[in-house]
């Protein structure tokens, strides 16, 4: 006779086997860079350090024909689409702005300005998992929460930030901002979102006299649980309090970078070739550093790209170096945070973004005018390597994808 103990052991063994079979297989991950080729509608997937070799390419607009048909059927949306093409798109459609990976590395989540949406693209099949149309007519910069589960996106024409579940695309909440919300940051382990509104950068009213026409430019800080706005920061007052140097600057906060402890914010503003330091606790601008200018740059500010002069800022993991993309001045450089003095100027063609390599040793800039990314050593300030990518690269983000991943067939 079979003993009761033997039967129980058999059932336990069977149960363990079934549970093991049912448990999801978590793939081993590799760190990569997503490079968004805005005018092409693709994302190149590159090694996150070393030689930055290309691993594959993802089509971020597999539903392009469907979206265009939808837009053309609506006169209002077609007008907005055309304005985006001829304004910020410089005659091109803006197909991919910002990108992140889902926590399991199965999908790329991207904002698509011309299509006014955020989509999740399966990186194995290339198909759309979900699509979230933003309010208004244009999506812009995004940020992902520290745990990777939520993504915040600026809806730049409705002055709104939407916060989505990154796996499902479901909206968890939203909050209102200043005019033309741009950069987003999750702070304090995801408790707050900081949004920077840049105002009306597409107008030709760029003389200082017309500054009042540029809109309501401010930093909005919202709670990520209630989505209530807990604080707004008007940099105009803080810049004026700094003195004459601050009074002369625009208050449109562009790309920014927090120190690792989130006590200090460094940021760029419209028309300025330099970096501003802001102390979060004291709520004061503490230093302003003017960086080298390109002597051949036209003084006609209406010729500068969307009021940019410098557009791209990142910080080394140790917090002692900033990487600055001098967009209109045609260089990138490493700046010491103690002195705010730059190292050598690395020549670059329309550098448009700056991020940190996977190993933390390099700053990686996108050169939108040369269709390449370039790595610069944080310690030496010297150029390491340039690698070709697609048409008009802008945002560059760190992501994780499964080891051995191959791009879907296009």
Q: Out of 74-78, 206-210, 227-231, 236-240, which region has the weakest mean confidence (pLDDT)?
A: 206-210
For the chain, list the domains and their CATH numbers: 26-402 (2.130.10.10)
Nearest CA-CA partner of 350 in 376, 332, 327, 333:
327
Here the tokens at position 30 are: 């590799």
**How many residues does this entry show for the chain?**
410
**Mapping DSSP to helix (H, G, I), strand (E, B) and coil, where does residue 55 land?**
strand
Say if CB 59 and CB 41 are below 8 A apart: yes
Say if CB 139 and CB 117 are below 8 A apart: yes
pLDDT, one tens digit per residue, over 243-292 is 999 999 999 999 999 999 999 999 999 999 999 999 999 999 999 999 99
> What percent of the chain is predicted at pLDDT more than 70?
93
* Confidence (pLDDT) at 257: 97
* Confidence (pLDDT) at 1: 43
Cα of 5 vs its chain's centroid, Å:
60
* Confidence (pLDDT) at 19: 45
> Cα–Cα–Cα angle for 247, 251, 256, nearest 5°?
125
pLDDT, one tens digit per residue, over 133-171 is 999 999 999 999 999 999 999 999 999 999 999 999 999
Say if CB 194 and CB 202 are below 8 A apart: no
Nearest CA-CA partner of 306 in 214, 234, 184, 239:
214
Burial (0-12, 13-18, 19+ Cβ within 10 Å), 369: middle
The number of CA neighbours under 13 Å toward the Cβ of 309 is: 24
pLDDT, one tens digit per residue, over 309-320 is 999 999 999 999
User: Which residues in 259-300 belong to E strands, given as ranges?
Assistant: 264-269, 274-279, 284-290
The CA-atom distances, in angstroms, between 267 and each of 183, 347, 360 are 11, 21, 20
330: left (phi over 0), alpha (psi -120 to 50) or beta: left
pLDDT, one tens digit per residue, over 50-91 is 999 999 999 999 999 999 999 999 999 999 999 889 888 888
Q: How many angstroms separate the CA atoms of 284 and 266, rounded? A: 12
> The whole model's pTM is what?
0.91
Nearest CA-CA partner of 151 in 132, 124, 129:
132
b/e burial code for range 159-197 (CB count within 10 A of at least 16 → b): bbbbbbebbebeebbbbebbbbbbbbbbbeebebbbbbb
Mean pLDDT over each residue of the chain, to the nearest integer: 93
Q: At what angle do helices 64-72 and 75-86 cross, to 10 degrees?
A: 120
Q: How many angstroms separate the CA atoms of 330 and 351, rounded? A: 7
Confidence band for 5, pLDDT divided at 50, 70 and 90:
low
Inform me whether the pLDDT recorded for 104 exceeds 70: yes
> What percent of the chain is predicted at pLDDT more than 90?
88
Q: What is the mean pLDDT of residues 96-102?
A: 98
Here the tokens at position 379 are: 């310690």
Inform me whether the pLDDT recorded for 209 exceeds 90: no
* Confidence (pLDDT) at 261: 94
* Confidence (pLDDT) at 409: 77
The number of CA neighbours under 13 Å toward the Cβ of 295 is: 0
For residue 239, what are the contacts with CB-CB under 8 A and spacing of at least 6?
246, 247, 249, 251, 276, 285
Residue 401: CB atoms within 10 Å: 24
Inform me whether the pLDDT recorded for 399 exceeds 70: yes
């Amino acid at each position: 006779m079979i003993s009761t103990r033997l039967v129980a052991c058999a059932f336990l063994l069977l149960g363990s086997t079934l549970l093991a079979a049912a448990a999801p297989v978590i793939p081993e991950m590799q760190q990569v860079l997503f490079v968004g080729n805005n005018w092409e509608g693709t994302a190149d997937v590159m090694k996150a350090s070393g030689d930055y070799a290309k691993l594959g390419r993802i089509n971020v607009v597999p539903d392009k024909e469907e979206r265009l048909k939808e837009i053309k059927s609506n006169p209002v949306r077609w007008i907005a689409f055309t304005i985006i093409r001829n304004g910020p798109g410089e005659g091109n459609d803006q197909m991919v702005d910002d990108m992140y990976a889902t926590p399991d590395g199965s999908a790329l989540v991207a904002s698509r300005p011309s299509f006014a949406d955020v989509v999740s693209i399966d990186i194995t099949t290339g198909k759309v998992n979900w699509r979230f149309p933003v309010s208004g007519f244009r999506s812009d910069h995004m940020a992902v929460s520290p745990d990777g589960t939520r993504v915040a996106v600026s809806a730049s024409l409705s002055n709104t930030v939407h916060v989505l579940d990154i796996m499902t695309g479901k909206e968890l909440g939203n909050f209102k901002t200043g005019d033309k919300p741009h950069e987003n940051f999750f702070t304090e382990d995801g408790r707050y979102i900081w949004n920077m509104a840049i105002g009306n950068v597409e107008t030709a009213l760029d003389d200082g006299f017309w500054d009042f026409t540029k809109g309501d430019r401010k930093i909005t800080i919202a709670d990520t649980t209630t989505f209530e706005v807990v604080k707004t920061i008007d940099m105009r007052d803080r810049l004026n309090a700094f003195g004459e140097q601050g009074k002369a600057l625009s208050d449109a906060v562009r790309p920014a970078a927090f120190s690792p402890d989130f006590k200090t914010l460094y940021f760029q503003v419209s028309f300025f070739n330099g970096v501003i330091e802001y102390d979060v606790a004291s709520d004061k601008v503490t230093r302003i550093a003017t960086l080298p200018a390109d002597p051949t740059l036209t003084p006609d500010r209406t010729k500068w790209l969307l009021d940019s002069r410098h557009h791209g800022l990142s910080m080394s993991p140790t917090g002692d170096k900033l990487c600055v993309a001098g967009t209109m001045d045609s260089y990138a450089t490493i700046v010491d945070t103690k002195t705010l003095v730059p190292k050598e100027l690395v020549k670059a063609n329309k550098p448009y973004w700056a991020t940190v390599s996977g190993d933390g040793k390099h700053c990686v800039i996108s050169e939108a005018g040369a269709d390449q990314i370039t790595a610069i050593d944080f310690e030496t300030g010297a150029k390491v390597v340039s690698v070709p990518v697609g048409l008009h690269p802008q945002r560059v983000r760190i992501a994780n994808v499964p080891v051995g991943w191959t791009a879907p067939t296009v």
